[in-house]
Amino acid sequence: MDIIVCVKRVPDVAEAEVDIDSSGRGIQLGTLGYVINEWDNFAVEAAVSLVEAHGGKVTAVTVGGEDDEDVLRRALAMGADEALHLTDPVFEGSDSFGIAGILSQAVADIPYDLLLTGAVSGDVGGGRVGPMLAAMAGIPHVCLATELSVEGSTARVRHEVEGGLERVVELDLPALVTVQTGMNEPRYVSVLGIRKAGRKPLRTAGTAEIGLDPDTVGPAAVRVRIDEMFLPPRGEGAEILAGNDEDTVAALVDRLRQQGGI
């Protein structure tokens, strides 16, 4: 069974103070570290463990700049067999629709039974690329999967639905599944593991190699523009307790008491 898994490298903002950049339409990336998109980590694990069980091949794919190769090296270290780095200056500034278009053009040349993406990306977070890609490729999809198994030419997927429920559905392969966190326990990746995986095939391709019309990607082709970014207004009535630990703790305990929390 052949699986293509889409992965993305995202800035790690969890512990960082985020600032808007000088264009007013992005954030200052200067000092931020990068990680694999949390959801994609579960998707790679799902792909690798399915192929370990059934045989076949995992290809990891990303659309991004030169540095984004990291995320492919990481996927290879987790057990992906091959990687495809879709990179071209004209890709820059594409929206989700553009990214899905690049991916769909690229995967058209690769045989696969299953396409996996993360449910959402931590930076953009719209959860659009997966199901858009499925619709472009003309294959069925299901979103927010928490369990995934394959038997013959059918995938069985448990996924999160309305009203706090989960649902099990079957999909005829080829199909696309978007992976929710918690589906599995993503394996640990060591620096040594990444170095060892350096021998695995990693191919680079741009518009010419995948036969994509450059006019369909990049800023000129976006369907949804970003006009401006700004920091959210502070919540009304919100208070920040600062100072030395002793005073802060005393102030917090005081407020919790007043509110009936202790």
Partner 1 sequence: MRLILVLVEHSGGVVDDSAFELASAARKLGEPGEGVRVGAVLLGNDVSGIAEGLGRWFDDIYVFDSPRLQVPDGVAGAELLAGLIEQEQPFVTLIPHTNTGMDLAPALAIRAGAPLLADCITLEATEDGISAVRTRYGGKVHARISAAGTGGFMATLRPGSFAATEAPGAGGELHTMAVPEGLAPQRRFVETIAPEPGAVDISQAEVLVAVGRGIDEEEHLEIIRSLARAMGAEIACTRPVVDKGWLAKSYQVGTSGVAVKPKVYLAIGISGSYQHTGGIKGAPFIAAIN
Ligand X SMILES: Nc1ncnc2c1ncn2[C@@H]1O[C@H](COP(=O)(O)O)[C@@H](O)[C@H]1O
Q: Is 13 in the site for partner 1 (CB under 8 A)?
A: yes
Do 40 and 87 meet the contact criterion of CB atoms below 8 Å apart? no
Cα–Cα dist 240/2, whole Å: 52
Shorter beta-carbon distance to ligand FAD: residue 14 or 242: 14
User: Binding of ligand X at residue 36 (CB under 6 A)?
Assistant: no
Q: What is the pattern of x (binds partner 1, CB under 8 A) and - over residues 18-37?
A: x-x------x----------
Question: How many residues lie near ligand X (CB under 6 A)?
Answer: 23
Q: Rounded CA gap, 21 and 228, in Å?
A: 10
Q: Which of residues 72-101 bind ligand X (CB under 6 A)?
A: 96, 99
Are β-strands 82-86 and 202-205 bridged in parallel, bridged antiparallel, or unpaired?
parallel
* Contact with ligand FAD (CB under 6 A) among 119, 197, 202, 210: 119
Q: Which of 66, 162, 245, 246 binds partner 1 (CB under 8 A)?
A: 162
Of the candidates 171, 118, 165, 114, the one whose C-alpha atom is nearest the C-alpha of residue 142 is: 171
- Report how far residue 88's alpha carbon sits from residue 63's, in angstroms, rounded to the nearest whole number: 9
Residue 66 binds ligand FAD (CB under 6 A): no
Rounded Cα–Cα distance for residues 47 and 118 (Å): 12
Instruction: Decide: is 123 part of the binding site for partner 1 (CB under 8 A).
Output: yes
Going by their DSSP bridges, the two strands 57-63 and 2-6 should be labelled as parallel
> How many C-beta neighbours within 10 Å does residue 55 have?
9
Contact, 65 vs 56, CB < 8 A?
Answer: no
Query: Cα–Cα distance between 67 and 46 in angstroms, integer?
Result: 25
- To ligand X, the closest distance from the beta carbon of 121 in angstroms equals 4
Number of residues that bind partner 1 (CB under 8 A): 68
131 is a contact residue toward partner 1 (CB under 8 A): yes
Place of tokens 């200056």: 89
Amino acid at 245: D
Please give the residues from 120 up to 139 whose contact with ligand FAD meets the rule CB under 6 A: 120
Among 1, 35, 36, 37, binds ligand X (CB under 6 A): 37
Per CB under 6 A, contacts with ligand X among 98-137 are 99, 117-118, 120-121, 124-130
Summarize as ranges the residues that interact with partner 1 (CB under 8 A): 11, 13-14, 18, 20, 27, 96-97, 100, 119, 122-132, 134-136, 139-144, 156, 158-172, 175, 180-182, 185, 223-232, 252, 255-256, 259-262
